[in-house]
Amino acid sequence: MSDVDQLGFQRWIKRYPAAGQSDSGSTVVFPHAGGAALAYRSLGTALAEAGTDAYVMQYPQRGDRLGHAAPATVADLARDLFDAGDWAALSPLRLFGHCMGAVVAFEFARLAERRGVAVDALWVSASEAPSTVAARPDLPMAQDEILAEIVDLGGTDPRLLDDDDFVELLLMAVRADYAAFNRYGCGPDVAIAADVHALGGETDHRVSEDMLRHWETHTRGAFTLSMFDGGHFYVNDHVADVAELISDL
């Protein structure tokens, strides 16, 4: 079987086609650090039901990309994802990224601009702004500290953390993403043309409303901020609402 599908995209990109003809363009979804594409199946399905084709990215070192080398930097990861298909054929694009995925999506948008691929909007969920990343402490790399971080953030079934095989695979993915994120830096004057829409959880103890507002400096277009009930993984409880926001743009 070919590594690419009939549309010319790598098969590890999970596609959720809109029911009937898409009337809301295409949305590309970027998972959080350590997250696999499967974790965004509900969002992909909700986006398709809302009328937009959804493409959920799979990062290296997990799932069907388990044997793919980890990119050294966030920019390398964004380039790896951008080179996985002919995004110009689907443009203008809408991008959605959760936590670290928002920064990956931002770098994907910057690359798209340089390559002449139109991006209408970037949805950044539960994420600190790119220019603030370098100033925060490095993400942990030791097993115990990573697992404590995962428990603190929520979003992972605690029962899975009792499964040694699951933990081994999870740590591989998280370490790859954390290492790239720890090398990331971005100036406060770096901005994209696309509108930026920030989303967050009102009780998220890791990413506050004020932190989300810093994203406004990274767009030359419009900026909006929407808050939902819930914590860092609020989106799991508001999948339909988030999908509606994106598709109604």
pLDDT band at 24 (very low <50, low <70, confident <90, very high): low
User: What is the DSSP secondary-structure string of 164-191?
Assistant: HHHHHHHHHHHHHHHHHHHT----TT--
What is the model's pLDDT at position 87?
96
Q: Alpha-carbon Rg of the chain, whole angstroms?
A: 17
User: Token pair 């932190």 is at which residue?
Assistant: 211
DSSP code of 4? Answer: B
What is the model's pLDDT at position 6?
72
Average pLDDT over residues 54-59: 98
Summary mean pLDDT of the chain: 95
Q: Is 100 left (phi over 0), alpha (psi -120 to 50) or beta?
A: alpha
What is the model's pLDDT at position 235?
97
User: Domain containing 67: what range?
Assistant: 14-247
Answer yes or no: is 35 within a domain: yes
Percent of the chain at pLDDT > 90 equals 90
Answer yes or no: is 39 within a domain: yes
Would you state the torsion angle of the CA atoms of residues 3, 105, 14, 158, taken in this order, to the nearest 10 degrees? 120
Answer yes or no: is 7 within a domain: no
What is the model's pLDDT at position 189?
96
Answer yes or no: is 8 within a domain: no
Does 22 have pLDDT greater than 70? no
DSSP code of 69? Answer: P
pLDDT band at 21 (very low <50, low <70, confident <90, very high): low
pLDDT band at 17 (very low <50, low <70, confident <90, very high): very high
Domain count, the chain: 1
Answer yes or no: is 120 within a domain: yes
* Contact criterion met (CB below 8 Å) for 12 and 58: yes
Both tokens assigned to 115: 């390559």
What is the model's pLDDT at position 158?
84
pLDDT band at 193 (very low <50, low <70, confident <90, very high): very high
Answer yes or no: is 9 within a domain: no
Average pLDDT over residues 78-85: 97
CA distances from 44 to 61, 198, 199, 200, 231 (A): 21, 19, 17, 19, 21
Does 215 have pLDDT greater than 80? yes
Answer yes or no: is 104 within a domain: yes
Claim: this prediction has a pTM higher than 0.85: yes
Answer yes or no: is 88 within a domain: yes
pLDDT band at 101 (very low <50, low <70, confident <90, very high): very high
What CATH number should be reported for the domain holding residue 168? 3.40.50.1820
pLDDT band at 1 (very low <50, low <70, confident <90, very high): low
